[in-house]
Amino acid sequence: MNANPPAIQPQPFAPPRFLTLAVLLFWSWQSGLWLPGLLMGLALEAIPFLNPGLEFSQDDFRRVWNFCNLLGLAAVLYAFGNNDRVGGLGGLLHGAANNRAAMLSGVQSVLNFPRWLPIMLFLAIAAQKASAAGLTPATSFSPFLRWYRQKSGEITPEPMLDLSYPYLILCLFSAGIHANSGSQSYFMGMILLVAWGLWPVRSGRFHPLVWLAVFALAAALALAGDVGVRKMADFTRNLSIQWMSRLLRDRTDPKQVMTAIGEVGQLKLSGAIEVRLTVPPAAAPPEYLHLASYRTYHRQSWFTGTARDDFQEIPPLSSGASNFQLIPGRSGSRLVTVSCYLAGWSSSLGVPEGLLPIPPDCDRLEDMPDTVASLQRSGNGAVLADGPGLMIFKAGYGTGQIPEAAPDTNEDLAVPAEEVPALKETLQKMSLDKTRAATLSTQKLESLIAGFFDSRFTYRTWQKAPSPLAGQQTPLANFLLNTHSGHCEYFATATVMLLRMLGVPARYAVGFYVHERSGENSYVVRGRDAHAWCLVWDRSAAGWQTFDTTPASWLGIEGAGGKISQAVEDFFSWLHYQAAKIRWGQSTLRGYVRWLPAPVLLALLAPIVFRRWRRVRQKVVNGPGNQQVFRPGLDSAFYPVRDRLVELGHVPREEEGFAGWLARILEAKHPRLPEMQLRQLFQLHYRCRFHPRGLTPDERDELASLAAQVLHLLNH
Amino acid sequence: MTTPSAASRVQAIEVFEKIRSSISQVMRGQDAATRQLLAALAAGGHVLLEDFPGTGKTTLAKALAKSLGADFRRLQFTPDLLPSDILGVSIFNQRDQSFHFHEGPVFTNILLADEINRASPRTQSALLEAMGEGQVSVEGVRRNLSALFFIIATQNPVEFRGTYPLPEAQMDRFMMQLSLGYVSPEEEVAILSGQNSTHPLDLLKPVAGLEEVEVLRQATASVRISEEMKRYIVDVVGATRGYRGVQMGASPRASLALMKTAQATAFFEGLDFVGPDQVRAMAMPVLGHRLVMDPQARFSGETARGVVAEILKKVRVPV
Q: So what's the pLDDT on residue A247?
A: 39
Number of A/B CB contacts below 8 angstroms equals: 65
Per-residue pLDDT band for B180 (boundaries 50, 70, 90) equals confident
| Contact by Cβ (8 Å): B36, B178 | yes
Among A66-80, A444-458, B39-53, top mean pLDDT goes to B39-53
Task: Determine, for residues A692 and B309 on separate chains, whether the beta-carbon distance falls below 8 Å.
Answer: no
Q: Which of B273, B307, B308, B314 to mutate to test binding with chain A, by most A CBs within 10 Å of its CB?
A: B273
Q: So what's the pLDDT on residue A627?
A: 47
Q: For B77-83, what is the mean pLDDT?
A: 90
DSSP class of A104: T
The complex's ipTM works out to 0.81
Q: For A284-303, what is the mean pLDDT?
A: 85
Task: Determine, for residues A686 and B275 on separate chains, whether the beta-carbon distance falls below 8 Å.
Answer: yes
- Read off the amino acid at residue A255: K
Q: For A571-590, what is the mean pLDDT?
A: 71
- 3-class DSSP state for residue A513? strand
Residue of B275 and A527 predicted with greater confidence: B275
Q: So what's the pLDDT on residue A105?
A: 41
Instruction: Give CA angle at A209 (A206, A214), nearest 5°.
Output: 80
- Comparing A68-77, A531-540, B119-128, the range with the smallest average pLDDT is A68-77
Say whether pLDDT at A564 is over 60. yes
Q: So what's the pLDDT on residue A596?
A: 63
Query: Number of C-alpha atoms within 13 angstroms, CB side, residue A185?
Result: 12
Report the C-alpha gap between B290 and A4 in whole angstroms: 48
Rounded (10°) CA dihedral A140, A142, A147, A153? -50
Report the C-alpha gap between A707 and B229 in whole angstroms: 24
Residue of A53 and A360 predicted with greater confidence: A360
Q: For B225-249, what is the mean pLDDT?
A: 89
Instruction: Give CA angle at B30 (B28, B34), nearest 5°.
Output: 120
Chain A closest-CA separation from residue B243 CA (Å): 11
| β-strand partners of B141 | B138
Per-residue pLDDT band for B175 (boundaries 50, 70, 90) equals very high
Helix (H) or strand (E) holding A78: helix A58-83
| β-strand partners of B137 | B142
C-alpha to C-alpha distances, A115 to A24, A78, A109, A562, nearest whole angstrom: 12, 13, 10, 47
Q: So what's the pLDDT on residue B254?
A: 94
- Comparing A163-177, A627-641, A674-688, the range with the smallest average pLDDT is A627-641
Task: Determine, for residues A632 and B226 on separate chains, whether the beta-carbon distance falls below 8 Å.
Answer: yes
Say whether pLDDT at A88 is over 50. no
Report the C-alpha gap between A651 and A711 in whole angstroms: 16
Q: So what's the pLDDT on residue A466?
A: 65
- Comparing A30-39, A310-319, A553-562, B16-25, the range with the smallest average pLDDT is A553-562
Per DSSP, the residues of A536-589 read: EEETTTTEEEEE--S-TTHHHHHH-S-HHHHHHHHHHHHHHHHHHHHHTT-STT
Say whether pLDDT at A243 is over 60. no
- Taking contacts as CB-CB distances below 8 angstroms, the residues of chain A near B275 are 658, 686, 689-690
| Contact by Cβ (8 Å): B34, B60 | yes
Candidate from A631, A654, A690 with C-beta closest to B313: A654
pLDDT digits (tens, 9 = 90+) for A132-156: 777 888 888 888 887 877 776 655 5
Q: For B286-302, what is the mean pLDDT?
A: 88
Q: For A363-392, what is the mean pLDDT?
A: 83
Task: Determine, for residues B313 and A655 on separate chains, whether the beta-carbon distance falls below 8 Å.
Answer: yes
Chain A closest-CA separation from residue B124 CA (Å): 31
Q: So what's the pLDDT on residue B176?
A: 93
SS3 content of chain B, % helix, strand, coil (to 5): 50, 15, 35
Per-residue pLDDT band for B36 (boundaries 50, 70, 90) equals very high
| Contact by Cβ (8 Å): A538, A291 | no
Report the C-alpha gap between A43 and A50 in whole angstroms: 10
Chain A residue nearest residue B239, CA to CA: A623
Among A144-158, A590-604, A657-671, top mean pLDDT goes to A657-671
| β-strand partners of B89 | B102
C-alpha to C-alpha distances, A498 to A310, A376, A424, A487, nearest whole angstrom: 27, 32, 8, 17
Helix (H) or strand (E) holding A296: strand A296-298
Average pLDDT, chain A: 76
Report the C-alpha gap between B97 and A568 in whole angstroms: 104
Closest CA to A548 of A535, A558, A557: A535
Say whether pLDDT at A601 is over 90. no
Domain B223-319 maps to which CATH number in 3.10.310.30, 2.60.40.10, 1.10.357.10, 1.10.8.80? 1.10.8.80
| Contact by Cβ (8 Å): A250, A302 | no
Per-residue pLDDT band for A96 (boundaries 50, 70, 90) equals very low
Report the C-alpha gap between B101 and B90 in whole angstroms: 4
Q: For A502-518, what is the mean pLDDT?
A: 87
- Taking contacts as CB-CB distances below 8 angstroms, the residues of chain A near B246 are none
Say whether pLDDT at A85 is over 60. no
Say whether pLDDT at A55 is over 60. yes
Class for domain B1-222, per CATH?
A: alpha beta
Phi, psi at residue A203, to the nearest 5°? Answer: -75, 140
Task: Determine, for residues B318 and A654 on separate chains, whether the beta-carbon distance falls below 8 Å.
Answer: no
pLDDT digits (tens, 9 = 90+) for A700-711: 888 888 888 888
Chain B residue nearest residue A657, CA to CA: B277
Report the C-alpha gap between A93 and A65 in whole angstroms: 36
Q: Which of A619, A690, A691, A693 to mutate to test binding with chain B, by most B CBs within 10 Å of its CB?
A: A690
Report the C-alpha gap between B222 and B9 in whole angstroms: 10
The burial class, CB within 10 Å (0-12 / 13-18 / 19+), for B101 is middle
Instruction: Give CA angle at A211 (A207, A212), nearest 5°.
Output: 115
Candidate from A624, A658, A686 with C-beta closest to B235: A624
Candidate from B242, B275, B313 with C-beta closest to A690: B275
Report the C-alpha gap between A86 and A339 in whole angstroms: 18
pLDDT digits (tens, 9 = 90+) for A665-677: 888 777 777 788 8
Q: So what's the pLDDT on residue A102?
A: 42
Q: So what's the pLDDT on residue B261?
A: 95
Candidate from B224, B242, B275 with C-beta closest to A623: B242
- 3-class DSSP state for residue B40? helix
Per DSSP, the residues of A459-493 read: E-SEEPPPPGGGTT--HHHIIIIII-EE-HHHHHH
Q: So what's the pLDDT on residue B153?
A: 92
Chain B closest-CA separation from residue A653 CA (Å): 9
Relative orientation angle of helices A488-501 and A442-456, to the nearest 10 degrees: 140
- % pLDDT > 90, chain A: 4
pLDDT digits (tens, 9 = 90+) for A608-653: 667 656 555 544 444 444 445 566 777 788 888 888 888 887 888 7
Report the C-alpha gap between B177 and B40 in whole angstroms: 10
Instruction: Give CA angle at A174 (A173, A175), nearest 5°.
Output: 90
Spans of all domains in chain B:
1-222, 223-319
Q: For A377-404, what is the mean pLDDT?
A: 84
- Taking contacts as CB-CB distances below 8 angstroms, the residues of chain A near B224 are 691-693
Q: So what's the pLDDT on residue A89?
A: 35
pLDDT digits (tens, 9 = 90+) for B110-131: 999 988 988 988 888 888 888 8
Q: For B98-108, what is the mean pLDDT?
A: 89
Query: Number of C-alpha atoms within 13 angstroms, CB side, residue A36?
Result: 16
Q: So what's the pLDDT on residue A41?
A: 92
Say whether pLDDT at A98 is over 50. no
Instruction: Please state whether beta strands B47-50 and B150-155 pair in parallel, antiparallel, or not at all (unpaired).
Output: parallel
Say whether pLDDT at A104 is over 50. no
Same fold, B1-222 and B223-319: no
Task: Determine, for residues B226 and A652 on separate chains, whether the beta-carbon distance falls below 8 Å.
Answer: no
Per-residue pLDDT band for A246 (boundaries 50, 70, 90) equals very low
- 3-class DSSP state for residue A11? coil
- Comparing A440-449, A458-467, A517-526, the range with the smallest average pLDDT is A458-467
Per DSSP, the residues of B161-192 read: TT--PPPHHHHHHSSEEE---PPPHHHHHHHH
What's the gap between Cα B248 and its chain centre? 21
Please, where are the H alpha helices in A177-257? Answer: 183-198, 208-252
Closest CA to A340 of A317, A318, A365: A365
Report the C-alpha gap between A371 and A659 in whole angstroms: 81
Q: Which residues of B touch A (CB under 8 A)?
A: 224-229, 231, 234-235, 238-239, 241-242, 271-277, 280-281, 309, 312-313, 317-319
Per-residue pLDDT band for A353 (boundaries 50, 70, 90) equals confident
Q: Positive or negative, the Cα torsion across A420, A423, A427, A429? A: positive
| Contact by Cβ (8 Å): A99, A93 | yes
Q: So what's the pLDDT on residue B39?
A: 94
Residue of B266 and A250 predicted with greater confidence: B266
Task: Determine, for residues A655 and B229 on separate chains, whether the beta-carbon distance falls below 8 Å.
Answer: no
Q: So what's the pLDDT on residue A609?
A: 66
Residue of A402 and A318 predicted with greater confidence: A402
Query: Number of C-alpha atoms within 13 angstroms, CB side, residue B44?
Result: 19
Per-residue pLDDT band for A559 (boundaries 50, 70, 90) equals low
Q: So what's the pLDDT on residue A93?
A: 35
